[in-house]
Structure 1
Amino acid sequence: MPMYLPTFDSSLSYSWVGNQWQPPSGVPLYTIQEMRHIFTQGNVLWIGDSTARQDYVTLYNMITSSSSTHDDDHYYSNLTVAQLNEGINVNKGGKITEICDRRYPLDLLLCRDIGNATVNNKIVHYDYTEQICFRDVFNYINTNWRQLVAKYSTILVSVGIWDVIRFQYCGGQNVTFVRDVLNVIDEKFSANGHVQVLWKVHCGAGNENASEMDRTAQIQQLTRDWFATHPQNNHTNNMAMIDLAKEMEGRTYGEARIAGDIPPHLGPTARMLFLQMATHEMAQQKGRSLTKNRTI
């Protein structure tokens, strides 16, 4: 029989041994098959900058991998770092090498299907729209929310780097604008409980100066404060915060950073941590069950 996952105490933290994270007691370490099961319950949309794109591709590489086998009781996966990183910069900087045949009307930069996964006999869509600033996400939600509600069951948002290191390009808004973005998401989706929205608290870029680090910290804290004063923090609504920045403390700046291909990006270990956290949040927030018994 399937089992439901335990409630995650958000006061607990993932721990680090060297550059490897471990989940808190009571929080599962999800297999690729379990992640696939959870992320194929409906259409998925990622909204954000290149950090969202890299998360999008990393998860896709995992849940569509053929490097997995199973017997009656166990699953085995063997993905290399190269496989996790494959294609993480696809369509970067306007160099389109992968055409999205359903780009419009939702301005999708990437659109894929999850293998043979179906819901109600329809193929599960797995999409990404590039919105690199807070103002872009604000305008995108305001303009498209009805269509988003009609199409997607899960929306993940990863944005914030540009509003620190390129904040003039992003309009030079005060850090408090993050609350406006969260408010518009809450306003448009709170009445539509079937749409689950996950907001990632972004980590700073590896090359931030002191003032930029301070701006990042302010945005992070404003985000935490917003969720602390809204019902979502009690998991009574369909919007949740994935505080990757908290779990990456000590691994964001300096020599200990889990570095990616360029300073704003994190390496695959950090991306997998976020994907594990997002998977757990999805599993418990919607009360989804796994297909197998497991010991936790």
Structure 2
Amino acid sequence: MRQRRFLPSLSQLIAFEAVMRHRSVTAAADELHLTQSTVSRLVASLERQLGRDLFLRQRRRLIPNAEALVYGASVTQALDQIQRASMAVVANPGGGALSLSVLPTFATRWLAPRLGQFLASNPGISVNLSTKIQRFSFASEAFDAVIYFGAEDWPEAHHVKLFDERLTACASPDFLARHPIARADDMAGLPMLQLETRPFGWQAWFAAQGATGVPVSGMVMDQFSMMIQAAIAGLGVALLPSYLARPEIADGRLAPTLRAEVPGDGAYWLAWPDRRQGDPAFTRFRTWLEAEVARDHPHA
């Protein structure tokens, strides 16, 4: 049984969140299409209900105190979750909506081109994608699952490995014509494009080539899609997950160098919170995803 004192009305919370976000009663009132006095009254009634002052009042300004800052972060997350749930009901009355966090280039190059097959086979399910690089907590974010790179270490989550990463070093044919690479030592002094979230990628690649100690220098980027375009433009040698490099290698815009598709130092994982364990919509998505991985990576 929930205690009414700790369940403020939605009107109170929306007014409070708007004031926190704008740091202005006037701006909050304009956004909510309410009068300033109504917004002030809603905030004051929230404070009375909680038995705590949340703002320092200076003339017509409301300055949030430390308690308001902490409380405001939680209120914002809760309102976001309610909004996403409501949008899912409107977009899909059947209730089969999934919200996924996915790595940017994995989403655009691998998942999105296949997703139509899943949606066509499961017309009662809708899938919303958000791209994220940094990790988050399922407790504070309204995602149903995440596809990430690394180890089996997402906190408070169930895991299934999709496939181990294999690495391919490649460059444009013109670049390789100007800088022939017959052995790993020939890479010394060449620009090696790097991903900021994979600081030891090149070391793993050189070790797999049976070479060590080759200094690495070159542009650092935050997405593989940028690295692919930089390599095509002749800006250096790109170290790419093999599944991302294949289309450009197939059409001749990039060419692999030395031993192709060497083992990397991580894997791609699907992780999900306990609240989605056994959920029919998610179970169908997971089953489909694993089948796609098995078809694309038969030895994963």
Larger relative contact order (C-alpha < 8 A, sep ≥ 6)?
1
- Which range, TM-score by smaller chain? under 0.3
Richer in strand (by share): 2
- Report which of the two structures shows the higher radius of gyration computed on alpha carbons: 2
TM-score (norm 2): 0.26
Structure ranking higher in helix proportion: 2
For normalisation by structure 1, the TM-score amounts to 0.26
